[in-house]
Chains A and B, each alone.
Chain A
Amino acid sequence: MLPVFRFQHTSSLSLLLCLLTCVIGAPLTPGFASSGNVLNILGMAAPLLILALGQMLVMISAGIDLSGTAIMAVASIWGAQLMQPGLTPLPAGPWLVPLVVVAMPCIGGAFGAANGALISWGRIPPFLATLISMVFLYGLAAWWTRSASIGNLPTEFIALGSQPWIVFPVAATIAILVDRILRRTLYGRWLYALGSNPETAWVSGVAVQQTVFVTYAGAGFLAGTAAILFTAQLETGSPVLGKNLMLDVIGAVVIGGTSLFGGVGRVSWTVGGVLFLVLLENILSLHNLSHFVVMMAKGALILAACLLDSLRRQRKSQ
C-alpha cells in the first residue's frame, strides 16, 4: 500500500496539500501574501465551505445532492424579495434583516426536506431526485424573477458578506457544530453506519429513512445559510446563483477524502478540500491565467481525487 493511502485514513491529506500550496505558491506569486488577498481567499472559502459541509453529509450517506446550488438560488431571490419595501410581508424596521437571516436557511431546509422525502420514502435514487429538484428550482427562480436579479438590499444585510469578522466566525461555528454532530450524536453514528451498509443498519435497528431525510433537510438548511453569505457578497438576489458551482462543491468534498461510496468523511477534510480548491484558483488567477484554464485545472484535480478514492476502495476490498 502506498503511504498516501494510509496517511489519508488517519489525518487530512487535503490540509497538508493546502500548506504545501501556500509554501510553494506564496514566493512565486506576487500579491498572494497581501492581507487583502488572504481576506479575499477566506471570503471566497467561507460560503463554499458551508455548502460543501451539506454535500459532505449527503455523501457520507452514500448519496449525492445536485440541487444544493439551486436551493441557494431560490433562497437568495426569496430572501432578497423579503427585504424589498412594498413586496415583503415582513414589517420594516430593525428586525427585518435578522428575520430574513432566519428565513433563508429555513427556505433551504424546506426544499432539502422535500429532497429527503422523495429519496427516503419515495425511494427515488438521490441522483435523480436532486437532479429533478435542481432543474425545477432553477426554473422556479428564473420564472419568479423573470430572470432579473433583485438588488437594492439593506446595507446591514450587505455588511454580512463583506465583514470578515462576521463571515469567518459564522463559517467556523457551523463547521465545529457539524463536526460535533457527526462525532458525538446518535444521528452522526447512524449516518456513518447507513452509508457504510444500509442493509446492516436496517437490520440493526437504525432509523434509516428518518436519518436520510434529516440529512437532506440539513444539506438544504446549510445551502440556505450559504445563500445569505453569497447574496450579501453579490449585493443582489440572483436567480442563477451558483450555477457553475456544483462541481466545485462536490470536488472540494472529494478532494478532502470523503468517499463517493459513503460511510467515510470528516469536517476537517472538507475544510482542507475547500481551502485547497480556493487557493489553487486564486494562485492561477494571480498568474493571469484565463478563467477557462483555471476550470481545466480544477477538473483535472477533481478527477485525480476521484481516481484516488476508487483506487483506495479497491485496495480495501481485497
Chain B
Amino acid sequence: MTPGLTIRGLEKSFHTIPVLKSLDLDVAPGEILGLVGENGAGKSTLMNILGGHLHADAGAIMLDGEPYRPDSARAALRCGLGLVHQELELFPNLSVAENLLIAGFPTFAGCIRRRQVEQTAARLLQQVGLECSPRTLLGHLSAGQQQLVEFARVLATDFRILLLDEPTTSLSRRETDTLYATIHALAQAGKGIILISHQINDVLTHCDRISILRDGRLVHQGPTQEIDVEMVIQKMTGRTVTQLFPQRDRSKGAHVGRVLLDVQSISQPRTLSSISFQIHSGEIVGLFGLVGAGRSELARVLLGLDRCKEGRVLLEGQPVTGSPRRRIQQGLGLVTESRRADGILAEMSVSENLSLVALPRFCRPVTGSIRQPELDRVVSITRQQLSLQSRLNDQQPMVTLSGGNQQKIVVGKWLINDPKVLILDEPSRGIDVGAKADLYQLVQRFADQGRGVLAISSDLEELIGICDRILVMSLGHLTGEFQADEFQRELIAKAAFAMQLSEPSHRSRK
C-alpha cells in the first residue's frame, strides 16, 4: 500500500472534448505539491473530480491504498480530502464561528453548545493567524480575512490530503506568510498538500515538488529546486499552432489605418490602472492576461456597463460617454464572456436574438413601430454570413442550439448593427473547433471592412493565430505590447506575469 494520494491514468472529457488526458499524480504524506498550468489546462477539472463534484471517465484514484471515488463534497471530506476553494463558499449573514462549524455543530439535546462552538472557533482562528472575535459577522470581514476563514473551516475537519485552489489571491503579504507557515506545519504533521496557484514564485518557494499541466496533460514533474520561474512559464505555454486560424497578411503596417478607438488612461480603483491603447481600422488587437488581470473589467468599462473613475475613450475622435445604449449608437459592441448570463435571450427565438441590438435603427420616429420587412431582410443576410447549420430554424428558441451556434448568433447580433469597434471577451470559450474556425473567419472579414476588433482571451494560441498585435495585462496594468513579428509565447506569457515578477513581494490581485 502506498500512503497518500495516487492518481493513475485519469481521463475526463466534456462533450467529446478531452480536458484531462491520462493524468498521473502522486502526493505523499508530509509533502507539499505545487500544481500550475494555464487557464483551461485542466486544474479545475482535476479539483472537481477530487472534490466529488465530477466523476472521471477513466483512471483510478487511491487514497492511502483505498479506492477513492466520492459522490459529493461531503463524501470527499469523509474520506479525508479537504478542499479550500478559490471562490468563497461562505455565509456572509452568519458569524465567523457559525461559518467555521456549519458542517457539524457540537450539540447537547438538540441545542447548539455555543460556548464550545466559540472556543473551537477561536482556536482555529488562532491557527490561521486571524485576529477577530468568533462572533463577528462574516460579511464584516475583508476579502482576505474571509479567505482565511475559508481556510480555517477546512482545518476544523479531519483530513489527510488538503487541496488549496489559489488560497492567497486576496491576502496581504503578512497574511500570506502566516498561511504558508500553517501549511508547512500541517505538512510536518503528516498531511499531504496540493497547492494550485498562479503565483509561481510562491509555489517555487514553498512547495517540495511542482507539477505542470498543459492541455490536460502532465508536461513536467520534479523537485522545485531544479526549475525557475521562466522555465515554468515556458513549459506551461509552449504549444504548436494548428490550421485552425485563417490566413492573414501580417506584414508590418498591413492593417494599420486611421485610429478608430483611442483609450486614454482608464483607471478604476483596484482593477485598472491607467490603461491606454489605440485600435486602428482593419486591425485585430488581442488582449492577453491571466484570470483576474482586469481584462473583462476593461471591456465592461469601455461599453459603459461599469463606471470608471478616470480616463476617457474616443471613437473616431469623438468622446464616448453615457449608458451602454448611447455607446452602442456611437459604434461600440461587446460580446461578453458568459453567454448564458448576459449574451442570449434563452427562451426567445434565433431571429429575435439576432435583431435585438439593431432594433432602434429600424424604429419609426413617432409611432415607435418597427420596420419589420427591412429588419427581416438584414437579419436574413447576416444569418447567412454566420454559417449556421442549415437545418436551423429562425423561430427555434436559443436554448435548443449548441454553444457554438449560440455564440455565432451573439456575434451576429452585433454585426447587424455594424459597429466601428467590436470587443470580444473570450469569444471561443466552450465551443467546438469547427465553430471556432468559423468564428475566426467572421472576425477577420469584419476587420477587413475597415473595422476594429479587440479580442480578449486566455488562450494565447488563439490570439497569436488571429491578431495583428497583442496587448498584455497583468494585475490591472498594461505590461506588454507585441507586433505580429514579435509574437513569442514565452515573452508574452512572461508579460502576463510581469507585475508578479517585477514585485516579488506579493500583491493582492483584486
Chain A residues in the interface with B (C-beta under 8 A):
184-187, 189-190, 192-193, 196-197, 199-207, 263-264, 316-317
A203-B303 contact given A193-B348, A196-B346, CB 8 Å threshold: yes
Please tell me if B421 contacts chain A, counting CB pairs below 8 Å: no
CA distance A219 to B431 in the complex (A): 42
Q: CA separation between A81 and B135, bound complex, in Å?
A: 59
Beta-carbon contact of B399 and A317 below 8 Å: yes
- Inter-chain contacts of B341 with A (CB < 8 A): 199
A304 to B14, CA, bound (A): 39
Q: Tell which of B328, B342, B368 touches A186, judged by Cβ atoms closer than 8 Å.
A: B368
B22 to chain A, nearest CB (A): 33
- In the complex formed, the residue of A with least CB distance to B417 is A205
CB < 8 Å: which of B328, B345, B359 contacts A197?
B345
Report B299 CB to chain A, min CB distance, Å. 10
Q: Is the CB of A185 within 8 A of B347?
A: no
A202 & B359 in contact (Cβ 8 Å cutoff) = no
A264 to B347, CA, bound (A): 9
Minimum distance in angstroms from A144 CB to a CB of chain B = 36
Pair B344/A200 contact, Cβ less than 8 Å: yes
Whether B413 is near chain A, meaning CB under 8 Å from some CB there, is: yes
Query: B372 on the interface (CB 8 Å rule)?
Result: yes
- Complex Cα distance, B324 from A196, in Å, reads 19
The reply to whether A196 and B325 contact each other, CB–CB distance below 8 Å, is no
Instruction: Give the chain A neighbours of B342 by CB distance below 8 A.
Output: 197, 199-200, 202-203
Count contacts on B: residues with CB < 8 A to the other chain: 32
A186 to B303, CA, bound (A): 22
A196 proximity list for chain B (CB < 8 A): 345-348
Contact of B325 among A189, A205, A317 (CB under 8 A): A205
Do A186 and B345 contact each other (CB < 8 Å), given the known contacts A203-B324, A317-B399? no
In the complex, how many angstroms separate the beta carbon of A157 from the nearest chain B beta carbon? 32
- Asked if B212 lies at the interface with its beta carbon under 8 angstroms from chain A, I say no
The answer to whether B343 has its CB under 8 Å from any CB of chain A is yes
Closest residue of B by beta carbon distance from A184? B369
Residues of A within 8 A of B367 (CB): 185
Contacts of B357 in A (CB 8 A): 204-205
Contact of A190 with B334 at beta-carbon distance under 8 Å, contacts A196-B346, A199-B342 already known: no
A193–B347 Cα gap in the complex (Å)?
10
How far, in angstroms, from A192 to B356 measured CA to CA in the complex? 10
Interface flag for B360 (CB, 8 Å):
yes
Can you name 22 A-B pairs with beta carbons within 8 Å?
A184-B369, A185-B368, A185-B369, A186-B363, A192-B352, A196-B345, A196-B347, A197-B345, A197-B346, A199-B341, A200-B342, A202-B305, A202-B342, A203-B343, A204-B357, A205-B328, A205-B329, A206-B325, A207-B323, A263-B347, A316-B347, A317-B399
Known pairs A193-B348, A196-B347, A196-B348; A202 contacts B324 (CB<8 A)? yes
Q: Is the CB of A189 within 8 A of B324?
A: no
Kindly report which residue of chain A lies nearest to residue B372, judged by CB atoms. Answer: A184
Q: Hey, which chain B residues are within 8 Å of A186, CB to CB?
A: 359-360, 363, 368-370
* Contact among A200, A206, A207 with B343 in the assembled complex (CB-CB below 8 Å): A200
